[in-house]
A and B are shown apart, each in its own frame.
Chain A
């Protein structure tokens, strides 16, 4: 194996190999990423850097390696979205209301990673409470996409809500990162940063210790530079957990073992409803190319229909705010989080603490959620949206009678400019048009980099699978990755001089 000269450009799989063979220590590897993060502060990808903790964890890892006891992720430095509670390390959810919150416990997913030997580099920036598609709702300011259009110095968004994780993977600031996906928050940022993002089946990962947004939709998943790396991280993140009654007791397969099995004989569905008016022509062209690639590798391409697709986003914008308004009721300025000064009674304390602590998008969603759940409107909105969810899930069940996976674009366009869509909430919501259906039905989906626009910006293709069939999703993702030969990297304009 020939390794790149700079360890920060290792894939997770490369680094694992190098550490196992003792070609590099975890400390050397970790130090390289710590320095890269320091030199990339312009991107604002991290809310909290934890270099001392990282080096201490690396040393502990090196000690284990010396003794010959190695976990599956031994010594490998990762970035953690700031939605995962990390014991003793500030966890903000991108919000002012949690800007001083230091969890006394560790999320199950991050604990699984540390148990596997991984090293934490820090906590990545994100949209506030994961509500956003551009990382612009963060209390800690937007993240910049490492990618810029050719011959342009205009700053672009990295997508959201896992924008910091996506940017840090794309800019080689970590080997991989965790994300969470409620309506597309892993797959959409992955697509617009030229990285791989996998949202597993609802219930695959424990939600324990992940700051809740919309509990029936939230799932954690990996964000990486290759499909193999996503397979490795997915295996380590998944578990059944007594602390989350919705985590499912289904065996976690060895995703890496089946990764290279190809797509010969697989039926790949192309849902006609994912062709939308007004999308740039390169989106359709990329999609058609993806189908050609899989066909050339022996897959059968099948036309399918998901008739309720267009209702997915509006249904989501009832269900998600409703659940959010309930989940976010816990922020009261009493038990933890921001507390307003000078309140004259308890109600005043609640109202002022929440108004000061939450940003504009979060306030808007809390109010929408409160309204659709309020007396007299529940049936018209929430109940109807939950019925639409049944119809959307049925669409998928029927489509999967004719095919094994679905192939779709991941986003309706490439990364857009900072500030371009902030004035119109609905136009921002439309970024998730291709990803949100998957959350409503609880299915697994992956975004894989597939090519560049004529302006030189990355685009992704999405593969959607049957429940708990991440193995096939990853396998098809690997085939797309192989065919796409996506090797472009952004120029390191952000690097401190």
Chain B
């Protein structure tokens, strides 16, 4: 399996990563080099093998359904590039 330029453009769009047109081909080559290398996994017969979902056998813990944090809007927006009255500011999304 390898990717073509169109696929590179599509996954860059899915990943919300701007990719200049002149970077598409080099990126395609880099990705194909990595994909060709990971494809050695196809040699292994994995029939009947369950995927590993947790390395340590444990039951997922449940916490009490209670408020443990919050009420600190100043801290939440402290690192925002742009905020106003405790709201994050973004370009207009509704016309």
Provided the pairs A346-B93, A354-B18, A391-B49 are in contact, do residues A370 and B11 lie with their beta carbons within 8 angstroms?
A: yes
A390 at the interface (CB under 8 A from B): yes
Residues of B within 8 A of A203 (CB): 55-56, 58
Interface pair B44/A391, CB less than 8 Å apart: yes
Distance between B50 CB and nearest chain A CB, rounded to angstroms: 6
Interface pair B44/A349, CB less than 8 Å apart: no
Query: How many chain-B residues does the 8 Å CB contact rule pick out?
Result: 51
B67 at the interface (CB under 8 A from A): no
Choose from A102, A347, A441 the contact partner of B78 (Cβ within 8 Å). A102
Provided the pairs A334-B81, A370-B11 are in contact, do residues A245 and B56 lie with their beta carbons within 8 angstroms?
A: no
Residues of A within 8 A of B35 (CB): 368, 371
Interface pair A390/B19, CB less than 8 Å apart: no
Interface pair B44/A370, CB less than 8 Å apart: no
Distance between B71 CB and nearest chain A CB, rounded to angstroms: 13
Provided the pairs A352-B18, A371-B7 are in contact, do residues A201 and B56 lie with their beta carbons within 8 angstroms?
A: yes
Residues of B within 8 A of A245 (CB): 60-61, 63
User: What secondary structure prevails in chain A residues at the interface with B?
Assistant: helix
Interface pair A390/B52, CB less than 8 Å apart: yes
Give residues of chain A (105-135) contacting chain B, Cβ–Cβ below 8 Å. Answer: 105
Bound state CA distance, A317 and B31, in angstroms?
Answer: 11
Residues of B within 8 A of A350 (CB): 16
Choose from B12, B37, B50, B79 the contact partner of A387 (Cβ within 8 Å). B50
Interface pair A345/B18, CB less than 8 Å apart: no
User: What secondary structure prevails in chain B residues at the interface with A?
Assistant: loop
Residues of B within 8 A of A311 (CB): 40-41, 44
Q: Which of A64-72, A144-152, A376-384 contacts the other chain?
A: A376-384
Instruction: Give the residue name and chain of the A residue nearest to B7 (CB).
Output: A371
Interface pair A390/B50, CB less than 8 Å apart: yes
Residues of B within 8 A of A332 (CB): 16
Give residues of chain B (16-72) contacting chain A, Cβ–Cβ below 8 Å. Answer: 16-19, 27, 30-31, 33-35, 37-42, 44, 46, 49-56, 58, 60-61, 63, 72
Residues of B within 8 A of A348 (CB): 18, 91
Bound state CA distance, A354 and B18, in angstroms?
Answer: 7
Bound state CA distance, A146 and B54, in angstroms?
Answer: 38
Residues of B within 8 A of A426 (CB): 33-34, 37
Bound state CA distance, A368 and B34, in angstroms?
Answer: 8
A101 at the interface (CB under 8 A from B): yes
Provided the pairs A339-B81, A367-B27, A426-B33 are in contact, do residues A347 and B53 lie with their beta carbons within 8 angstroms?
A: no
Q: A364-B30, A374-B11 are in contact. List 19 more A-B contacts (CB 8 A).
A: A104-B79, A203-B56, A216-B55, A317-B38, A318-B41, A344-B91, A348-B18, A363-B17, A364-B34, A367-B12, A371-B3, A371-B7, A384-B42, A390-B49, A390-B50, A391-B49, A393-B55, A425-B33, A426-B34
Q: Which residues of B contact A (CB under 8 A)?
A: 1, 3, 7-8, 11-12, 14-19, 27, 30-31, 33-35, 37-42, 44, 46, 49-56, 58, 60-61, 63, 72, 75-76, 78-82, 88, 90-93
Question: What are some 17 contacts across the A-B interface (CB < 8 A)?
Answer: A104-B72, A203-B56, A216-B54, A334-B81, A334-B90, A335-B88, A336-B79, A343-B91, A355-B17, A363-B27, A364-B30, A367-B11, A367-B12, A367-B27, A374-B11, A386-B52, A390-B51
